Amino acid sequence: MASMTIRNLDDGLKKRLRIRAAAHGRSMEDEARDILRAALSTGENRPANLAAAIRSRIVPLGGVELELPPPRGHARPTGFLRVIILDTNVLSELLAPAPSVAVETWLAEQQTAAVFATTVTGS
């Protein structure tokens, strides 16, 4: 395998890499390899569906055992509710001095009861 050295790495970038690596329980070097692998992937090795993508991430960690709840009969859904959660980009656009007409028009076309906004705060 080849190796490389990256010089003149911004301190802030290195700090974010260290934090991300710690959050994933691996070294900065392993994290950097994973980032490069994901960014430069040609798509040939990418899983074909969401289940395969999740499996490819969990299996190398030893898997996860989940307790499934007992079946509750054969209930059939009677209908589905449409829920729209506005992200910060939409909210920021609506609060801008000159909001995008396209965003305002799209939002006006949605059922009010289906539109929600969330807030995430840190301490």
Label residue 42 left, alpha or beta by phi (over 0 means left) and psi (-120 to 50 means alpha).
alpha
In angstroms, rounded to a whole number, what is the distance separating the alpha carbons of residues 15 and 3?
A: 21
**CA geometry: angle 56, 19, 7, nearest 5 deg:** 100
106 touches 114 (CB < 8 A): no
Residue spans per domain, the chain: 11-61, 84-117
Query: pLDDT tens string for the chain (123 positions)?
Result: 888 898 999 999 999 999 999 998 999 999 999 999 888 877 666 656 767 777 777 778 776 677 877 777 776 666 777 888 888 888 888 888 888 888 888 888 888 888 888 777 666
Q: pTM value?
A: 0.36
